[in-house]
Amino acid sequence: MSLPEEIWTVQSYIELFSHGCPNHLRPTMCPHCQTEVMLHKHGSFERTVYTLLEAFIISIFRFKCIKCGRSTSLLPNFVMEHHQVAWDVKEEVIRQQLSGVALAKIAEDLVTSAGRFSEKTLWRWSKAIRDELRDSSSEQWRVILEKLPHVEIPVGPSKPVQEWSWLFRAWEQVRSMIPGYLNIGLLTWLYQIKHSRAVALG
Ligand SMILES: [Zn+2]
């Protein structure tokens, strides 16, 4: 399951979880049996996360439900489930693509903390993210409109092909209004909107 409501950068996550999972962030609902119960601490494991500039080893905390006995992990939202590459890397790829840089060129030039990625990998990320947007676009604009009732949104015949450019622009406005969001990327936020309901990892 993802961390509820709050969005962390890798650094703020490491700081906050340096002495284990803080009590106020312990899951209070089991994603397997949906029972509303404080889950028991059940150890942790380490995982490497690659951001643009730095690789981090972070602890992922596990919890166990006393009702059904199944366990779950609390996943920070700067990285997607089962992925090691943080959203900021993927966001950089999308931004460069939007500004007209070819994927082959990005693959050649973009050096991340995990090194370079092949054009094929970048293409796979880009496609997955675009597909995701297509599926949940209206939901994302609804949330943006809640925050920014006067924002100009792409509708009808004037809806641009590059909806992403609009989203990036709207996001700049949204995050300037929310304390602590200045370092949060668009993709982290979109993913959080989509997955704010608990996801069971088993
Ligand atoms: Zn349970």
DSSP 37-66: -PPEEEEEEEEEEE-SS-EEEEEEEEEE-T
Tokens representing residue 127 in the block: 């496609």
Task: Give the residue from 74, 96, 119 where a domain finishes.
Answer: 74
- What's the length of the chain? 202
Q: Give the pLDDT confidence score for residue 62 in this predicted structure.
A: 94
Residue 198 has pLDDT above 70, yes or no: no
Tokens representing residue 52 in the block: 């643009």
Distance, in Å, from the CA atom of 31 to the CA atom of 3, rounded to the nearest integer, reads: 12
* Same domain as 184, residue 153: yes
* Same domain as 188, residue 99: yes
Tokens representing residue 27 in the block: 């899951």
The Å distance, Cα 61 to ligand 1 centre, comes to 16
pLDDT per position as a tens digit, 19-77: 999 988 888 889 899 999 899 999 999 999 999 999 999 999 999 999 999 999 988 88
**Positive or negative: CA dihedral 135, 140, 142, 143:** positive
Please, which pLDDT band fits residue 4 given cuts at 50, 70 and 90? very low
More confident residue, 2 or 114: 114
- Domain that includes residue 189, residue range: 87-194
- What percentage of the chain exceeds 90 in pLDDT? 40
* Same domain as 127, residue 97: yes
Residue 144 has pLDDT above 80, yes or no: no
pLDDT per position as a tens digit, 98-122: 888 999 999 999 999 999 999 999 9
Q: What is the mean pLDDT of the chain?
A: 82
Task: Give the residue from 33, 50, 74 where a domain finishes.
Answer: 74
Residue 13 has pLDDT above 60, yes or no: yes
* Same domain as 190, residue 127: yes
The Å distance, Cα 59 to ligand 1 centre, comes to 23
* Same domain as 113, residue 187: yes
Distance, in Å, from the CA atom of 145 to the CA atom of 106, rounded to the nearest integer, reads: 33
Tokens representing residue 104 in the block: 């082959």
Q: Would residue 4 count as lying in a domain?
A: no
Burial of 76 (0-12, 13-18, 19+ CB in 10 A): buried
Determine the number of helices (DSSP H) and then strands (DSSP E) in the chain. Answer: 6, 3
* Same domain as 98, residue 63: no
Task: Give the residue from 20, 39, 74 where a domain finishes.
Answer: 74
Q: Give the pLDDT confidence score for residue 200 in this predicted structure.
A: 32
The Å distance, Cα 9 to ligand 1 centre, comes to 29
The Å distance, Cα 71 to ligand 1 centre, comes to 8
* Same domain as 18, residue 99: no
* Same domain as 61, residue 22: yes
More confident residue, 95 or 164: 95
Q: Give the pLDDT confidence score for residue 11 in this predicted structure.
A: 87
Distance, in Å, from the CA atom of 144 to the CA atom of 150, rounded to the nearest integer, reads: 10
Q: Would residue 80 count as lying in a domain?
A: no
The Å distance, Cα 163 to ligand 1 centre, comes to 40
Q: Give the pLDDT confidence score for residue 8 in this predicted structure.
A: 78
